[in-house]
Amino acid sequence: MKTLYIALSLACLFLAHCSDSKSNSNTGSTKNENSIHVIFPYNIKGVWLFDDESKNIEREPFVTGVPAIIDELVSNTPNAEKGFRLTFSAIAFPGHQMTATREKEENGGCWYTIVNTSHRGWLCPAMFKYFDEAPEKIYLKSDPIP
């Protein structure tokens, strides 16, 4: 379930990124050079949200299957509702807890399924704030905030 939560979070990130996913024509580099990303989701009145000042994202909700994924991902993370660290990447990294596999694109976002589960969720265009293209796989990990 933790992997599902991360996957869904990434979906929302994808949607926010849609308008900013272009390459920098002067340098040939992209805006999204980091290969591992970290956000700090939190829960208000039963809704999972995240902010990322560096991407101009404020109170972006996770929707369409992603909340259930997040619930599973953080099931063993103390006080997750108050906030937790979500680490995600298109490249596998040591300690990742879930793997989301791209299924299909729809409405500017992408559907992802969580490997070895029946969970699936739609990541909104905010995902493109973090990835130039929808990754084939997204690796997820949750940690408590100290």
- Label each residue of 13-49 as H, E or C: HHHHCHHHCCECCCCCCECCCCCEEEECCEEECCEEE
Q: Model confidence over 16-63: pLDDT tens digits?
A: 333 333 333 333 334 455 799 999 999 999 999 999 999 999 999 999
Which pLDDT score, from 0 to 100, does residue 18 have?
A: 34
Q: Which two tokens stand for residue 120?
A: 């699936």
Which pLDDT score, from 0 to 100, does residue 33 have?
A: 59
Question: What's the chain's average pLDDT?
Answer: 83
Domain count, the chain: 1
Q: Given pLDDT bands bounded at 50, 70 and 90, which one contains residue 102? A: very high
Which pLDDT score, from 0 to 100, does residue 129 have?
A: 94
Does residue 28 lie within any of the structural domains?
A: no
Q: Which two tokens stand for residue 82?
A: 């108050």
Q: Which two tokens stand for residue 1?
A: 């379930």
Does residue 18 lie within any of the structural domains?
A: yes
Does residue 52 lie within any of the structural domains?
A: yes
Does residue 90 lie within any of the structural domains?
A: yes
Does residue 27 lie within any of the structural domains?
A: no
The pTM of the full predicted model, rounded to 2 decimals, is 0.77
Does residue 29 lie within any of the structural domains?
A: no
The domain of 66 spans: 2-22+35-144
Which pLDDT score, from 0 to 100, does residue 79 have?
A: 95
Does residue 13 lie within any of the structural domains?
A: yes
18, 135 Cβ separation under 8 angstroms:
no
**CA of residue 137 relative to chain centroid, distance:** 11
What helix, strand, coil percent values describe the chain, rounded to 5? 20, 40, 40
